[in-house]
Amino acid sequence: MSNEQKYLNMIGLATRARKTTFGEEQIIKDVKRGQAKLVLIASDIGLQTSKKLTDKCTFYQVPCRKMIIDRDRLSHAVGKSGRVAVAITDEGFAKKICSLLD
């Protein structure tokens, strides 16, 4: 199994465990509240949305990673259509996904 498949599986597991949030506004709320432990951004996200999310993550010191996968692959991993970003709200999942991305 490729590393990419491993972290996509972890994102899927985190989603099934209800440890993820979606949608720009909800992700930003979780970042501000300190609930987001990691924010993942698809490679084909819009520039404005990407900048907004990365700026918020930088300001609130939340790790933020731009992935090499596009929105279709991310959406498939979480079982929801049209997802370009996901916040992981569990420390354990966040650490594991970070280790797979490094």
* Structural domain harbouring 11: 3-101
In whole angstroms, what is the distance from residue 36 CA to residue 19 CA?
9
CATH code of residue 65: 3.30.1330.30
- Helices 47-59 and 24-33, axial angle in degrees (round to 10): 10
pLDDT, tens digit (0-9, with 9 covering 90-100), for 38-62: 999 999 999 999 999 999 999 999 9
pLDDT, tens digit (0-9, with 9 covering 90-100), for 12-34: 999 999 999 999 999 999 999 99
**What would the DSSP string read from start to end of 5-71?**
HHHHHHHHHHHHTT-EEESHHHHHHHHHHT--SEEEE-TT--HHHHHHHHHHHHHTT--EEE-SS-H
Contacts of 7 (CB under 8 A, 6+ apart): 97, 100, 101
Report the number of distinct structural domains present in the chain: 1
State the pLDDT at residue 102.
81
State the pLDDT at residue 69.
92
Nearest by Cα to 94 from 72, 47, 86: 86
State the pLDDT at residue 3.
85
